[in-house]
Chains A and B, each alone.
Chain A
Amino acid sequence: KAGVTQTPRYLIKTRGQQVTLSCSPISGHRSVSWYQQTPGQGLQFLFEYFSETQRNKGNFPGRFSGRQFSNSRSEMNVSTLELGDSALYLCASSLDSRNEKLFFGSGTQLSVL
């Protein structure tokens, strides 16, 4: 079974631009969560989707948005990029709706210049 796939692996953008990151969960998993990882800040929760519905959202500005498609694939979008958005963005999928046993992708490393 293929693992969680995130594309692209690396992104370099400039301030003010927007970016879209993609996540394909493990086949059969209907739940996808997104996290921002920065040195010293751990894993900060962005949002979580189950069956195309956003059930939970973290404390991030409205520039961060996401969605989930009927095939459980998910995208997150960041508009008007700021330098502080530079981070590793991880998505994780789970078989159950409670999000126990998360399976993480390798992440997208975003650099904002």
Chain B
Amino acid sequence: GENVEQHPSTLSVQEGDSAVIKCTYSDSASNYFPWYKQELGKRPQLIIDIRSNVGEKKDQRIAVTLNKTAKHFSLHITETQPEDSAVYFCAAGYQKVTFGIGTKLQVIP
């Protein structure tokens, strides 16, 4: 089955700085890689996703990159704001979606 590793587990950045979260996956057949954001006390919500036929995708201040050869993908958040503080999960898998352990991002005003 799919195995997803995510790091770092915690990340603190100053407001306005960039944040990068990295994930690796094991199943070369995986072709869809979503990222979910979970604010404190709330449900996880999809914020961005990427398919294996695309190397990079951007949506305003967030972007995701994918290296299929190396089996890793990353989330980039630029110009971080306090409302970006949350736990971020990467995921992979077909039908059975496997999540990474999560990264707790703290943006310090």
A interface residues with partner B (beta carbon < 8 Å): 33, 35, 40-43, 45, 48, 50, 55-56, 58, 90, 97-107
Contacts and interface: CB of A to CB of B under 8 A. Distances in A.
B31 to A, nearest CB: 9
Nearest to A105: B43
Contacts of A50: 95
Number of chain B interface residues as a range = 20 to 34
The 6 closest A-B pairs by CB, nearest first: A56-B96, A43-B99, A104-B43, A42-B101, A42-B102, A104-B44
Contacts of B36: 102
Interface string B42-78: 1111100100000000000000000000000000000
Contact of B32 (A35, A98, A106): A98
A55 B95 contact: yes
A50 B97 CA distance: 14
A106 B44 CA distance: 9
B43 to A, nearest CB: 4
Contacts, number: 56
A106 B34 CA distance: 19
Given A101-B34, A104-B45, A107-B43, A42 B94 contact: no
Interface in B86-109: 89, 93-102
Contacts of A97: 95
Given A56-B96, A98-B95, 7 more contacts: A45-B98, A58-B96, A98-B94, A100-B49, A102-B36, A104-B43, A105-B43
9 contacts: A33-B97, A35-B99, A42-B100, A43-B44, A43-B102, A99-B96, A99-B97, A102-B46, A104-B43
Given A98-B32, A104-B45, A107-B43, A43 B89 contact: yes
Contact of B99 (A40, A42, A105): A42
A99 B43 contact: no
Interface in B14-56: 32, 34, 36, 42-46, 49
Nearest to A43: B99
